[in-house]
Structure 1
Amino acid sequence: MTTHSTAYLDNPVLDTDSYKASHWLQYPPGTDATFFYVESRGGTYESTVFFGLQAILKSQLGRIVTHAHVDEARDFFAAHGEPFNEDGWRRIVDVHGGRLPVRIRAVPEGHVVPTHQALVTIESTDPEAYWLPSYLETLLLRLWYPVTVSTISWQARRTILHYLEKTSDDTAGQIPFKLHDFGARGVSSAESAGLGGMAHLVNFMGTDTVSGVLAARAFYGEPMAGYSIPAAEHSTITSWGREHEVDAYRNMLRRFAKPGSLVAVVSDSYDIYHAIGEHWGKTLRDDVIASGATVVIRPDSGDPVEVVHRCVSLLNDAFGSTVNAKGYRVLNHVRVIQGDGVNPGSIRAILERLSAAGYSADNLAFGMGGALLQKLTRDTQKFALKCSAARIDGEWRDVWKDPVTDQGKMSKRGRMTLVRHREYGSYRTVALPDGAVSLPADQLEHGWEEAMVTVWENGELLSDWSFADVRQRAASGR
């Protein structure tokens, strides 16, 4: 039997776009250094949660280049129709031991940074490898994906927090498990599930994306970043047959409902309103109460706003509720999780309808799949990596573009860093003096501090953030 794997992707020299192979010949004569930066040029949200660079550095940029890699790349590009900088790559192997001579500075992960600010800078550290930062664009700009997922998740958290603060007595206890990641099957690859699932876990602790939990362990040292509960799917309910639907639900209680536990049961296989009103609300009502568990009913079809409201109302009729200190009803013994049609807009609409009807956000959790991990692109937050400076004949020159047809694509110029105001948490991208890696203390305005640190230099990871660090920064919102 032939076993196929991703070994064909293991050559770091080939982890680029085809046209990059010719770019070392295109810079002006006398170029011996280049400086690039990454930013979100706007997009759906006005701020982004910076996350995922560390995973990319550890898994991709840390790969050691060998002469065998160079041989393969030389042969590939010769057949592919592109020139190839064989001497440049041989030098990286012979002089640098296969480690890439670049310096990468970035915002500590988890910070929430407004758009139009530099998030990452990349510069060459070997005059003979001035072309390398551009060559790495393809690999490094994939950072857009975990940043955008984490941003969407964080924005959803803001919305849910708003309604919890309005309607709940236990905002801090409720928020970690209010948005559950259902997205693993809807993404393009296992790697996407890992990066995206991990990015969601920056903001929440509920997930069914195993890859995301494993990624947080591998790249951020977090032993268990997310949690799940036993839950039914349609096959485990419908295999009992429609006439034995109530027996399928009874089996879920028998198997999983213990004092203090949670169990989720999809209940819309046939008629969710009948399932709640008759099966859960009458036949199994006493069993639910006696179990000591919280049973979470999952609708999975229909208009989310209307269906959730009606399900909560029917559960209130059957199990009753308690009015909390803020005057909102909290269901007894049961909850609802909505995992169909969930996106940032529907989350707000559902919670607005529930709160207007007098129900606390405690009653509801969300599951989000494609809209969390897949329904996004690099243009969602308009991510770009651009050259802003080049050293030519010993002098640094500003490099930028300013297309008359799209002012939104005008790029920044010069070597730069990011500064942050200690008190207000605001950010500014500012120029660096020639030759300086960071902004000297005497050039920082009062109240401002460097917001970037060197995370990678010449093949070595210099900053290794824990997942707890990242979560704390994101939760602070600045």
Structure 2
Amino acid sequence: MLSFEGTDVIPAISFLEKYYGADVEKELVGASVPATEHSVMCMGEKESEVETFKRLLELFPKGILSVVSDTWDLWKVCTEYLPELKKEILARDGKLVIRPDSGDPVKIITGYMMNELIIEDNRVYLQDYNGYRFVKGKEISLAESKGVIQLLWDGFGGITNDLGFKVLDTHIGAIYGDSINLQRAAAICEALKQKGFASQCVFGVGSFTYQYNTRDTFGMAMKATYVEVDGEGREIFKNPITDDGTKKSATGLLQVKKGNGKYILYDKVSWEEEADSELVTVYKNGKIIKEYSLEEIRMRLADHSTT
């Protein structure tokens, strides 16, 4: 929650108030938007799904409204229900966000490229290779071949930005709220680019990606680099021969300097150089020496991300 304020985890807000000096009475710590889950859509029943959409639009006439849309048939939602409700959607003071929640996120959002398809007699097939040539594989619908963003563009249009990429009308959008990692996010953005669209899908990390991240994902691990034994300093480090170099640690006393908007690490420095550093003692011998508020950390991170 350092880089975003959206959350549905209420205990996280209490945690930030307790440990990082946050105050929900004075600042926005975390918030959410109206968003449905499958149980909500199921309660409205399959045959009346369009009525569930209509009721939600009436209940939330402004702001962001996120609706999970693949409880039964995502493509029917995009090609039948949304066009039927187009007038109501465009009349809202806000954005309706369509949320698919199953299948391959890249293909669901972006569809397929023409070189991945065989179209014959107005029917669409995925290409399949039989060892000699490409042949017709699984048949898919035209809607599935287009993907969510293209279907929303077909139904609601939008504008073309200064770079020549298509941007959806501000009243409609999409989110894939789970199973998104860095590779999938990049693949979605690249596929949209190839189809002439700006990157305009909200990405959610979700439980899938959380389970596949470790402390090594972003090199976030603490290692000892300098110790003293019987009053004599020792520069220590780790560099496993079985690793690709990612886990090699810095060595000895450390100095961090800021230059050209970037932080640069120097190791094996003297005590004088170590004292002249961006590093600040926060925790020492079991005691917190320096405390930072949530607001300070967010501002620092925001400043760093723009440099």
TM range (shorter): 0.7 to 0.9
RMSD of aligned C-alpha atoms? Answer: 2.7
Q: In the TM superposition, what whole-angstrom CA distance separates every residue of 1:307-333 from its partner, at most 9, and x where no partner exists? A: 112111111111121222332222221
Residue equivalent to 2:292: 465
* Residue 20 of structure 2: aligned partner: 220
Gaps (5+ residues) in structure 1?
Answer: 1-200, 441-448
Distance in 1 separating the partners of 2:267 and 2:214: 25
Q: Give the Å deviation of 1:337.
A: 0.6
Residues of 1 paired with 2:249 and 2:167: CA distance? Answer: 51
Alpha-carbon distance in structure 2 between the residues aligned to 1:403 and 1:359: 44
- State whether structure 2 residue 257 is matched by structure 1 residue 420: yes
Q: TM-score, normalization: structure 1?
A: 0.49
> Are positions 1:242 and 2:46 aligned together?
yes
**Residue 454 of structure 1: aligned partner:** 281
CA contact (8 A) 2:180 2:205 kept: yes
1:385 counterpart (211, 215, 223) = 223
Give the counterpart letter for 2:266 in structure 1. Answer: R
- Write out aligned runs for 1:2-401 (5 A): 201-223=1-23, 224-258=28-62, 261-282=63-84, 284-309=85-110, 310-332=147-169, 333-361=171-199, 363-380=200-217, 381=219, 383=221, 385-386=223-224, 388-392=226-230, 395-398=231-234, 400=236
- The residue type equivalent to 1:279 in the other structure is Y
Change (3 A) 1:308 1:410: closer
How many residues are treated as equivalent by the alignment? Answer: 260
Q: Aligned-pair distance for 1:379?
A: 4.2
CA distance in 2, matches of 1:464, 1:401: 28
Specify the code of the residue in structure 2 equivalent to 1:289.
Answer: L
| Cα shift readout 1:419-439 (whole Å, capped 9, x = no counterpart) | 314445322123344xx8x73
Q: Distance in 1 between matches of 2:256 and 2:240?
A: 30
How far did 1:378 drift?
A: 3.6
CA distance 1:397–1:229, change in 2 (3 Å): same
Q: 1:341 to 1:401 in 2, by over 3 A?
A: closer
Q: Is the Cα–Cα contact under 8 Å of residues 69 and 77 in structure 2 kept in the other structure?
A: yes
Shift of 1:209: 2.5
- In the TM superposition, residue 356 of structure 1 has moved relative to its aligned partner by 2.0
Quote the Cα distance in structure 1 between the aligned partners of 2:301 and 2:71.
Answer: 38
CA distance in 1: counterparts of 2:35 and 2:107, whole angstroms = 23
Contact persistence 2:97–2:172 (CA under 8 A): yes
TM superposition shift of 1:206: 2.3
Is 1:474 aligned with 2:301?
yes
Cα 1:336/1:430, change in 2 over 3 Å: same
Contact (CA 8 Å) 2:239, 2:249: kept in 1 or not?
no
Q: How far is 1:406 from its partner? A: 4.5
* Percent of aligned positions that are identical: 30
Q: Secondary structure at the match of 2:149?
A: helix
For the residue of structure 2 that corresponds to 1:322, the secondary structure is strand
Q: Deviations over 1:94-126 (max 9, x none)?
A: xxxxxxxxxxxxxxxxxxxxxxxxxxxxxxxxx
- Given that 2:152 and 2:168 are in contact with CA atoms closer than 8 Å, whether structure 1 keeps it comes out as yes
Q: Residue 202 of structure 2 aligns to which amino acid in structure 1?
A: A
CA contact (8 A) 1:418 1:427 kept: yes
> Match of 1:377, as an amino acid?
T
Higher mean C-alpha deviation, range 402-411 or range 366-375:
402-411
User: In structure 2, do the counterparts of structure 1 residues 271 and 410 end up closer, same or farther at CA, with 3 Å as the change threshold?
Assistant: closer
How far did 1:400 drift?
3.6
| Conservation of the 8 A alpha-carbon contact between 1:417 and 1:439 | yes
Asked if structure 1 preserves the Cα contact closer than 8 Å seen for 2:5 and 2:31, the reply is yes
CA distance in 1, matches of 2:255, 2:209: 29
Deviations 1:119-142 (A, max 9, x none): xxxxxxxxxxxxxxxxxxxxxxxx
Amino acid in the other structure paired with 1:222: A
Q: Distance in 2 between matches of 1:404 and 1:251?
A: 59
Aligned-partner SS, 1:353 = helix
Structure with higher RCO (Cα < 8 A, 6+ apart): 1
Check the 8 A contact 1:329/1:358 in 2, yes or no.
yes
Question: Which structure has more helix as a fraction of its residues?
Answer: 1
Q: SS at 1:431's partner residue?
A: coil
Relative to 1, partners in 2 of residues 1:471 and 1:371: Cα closer, same or farther, differing over 3 Å?
A: farther
CA distance in 2, matches of 1:404, 1:238: 53
> 1: distance between equivalents of 2:77 and 2:48?
12
- Please, which runs of 5 or more residues in structure 2 have no aligned partner? 111-146
Q: CA 1:411–1:336 in structure 2 vs 1: closer, same or farther (change >3 Å)?
A: closer
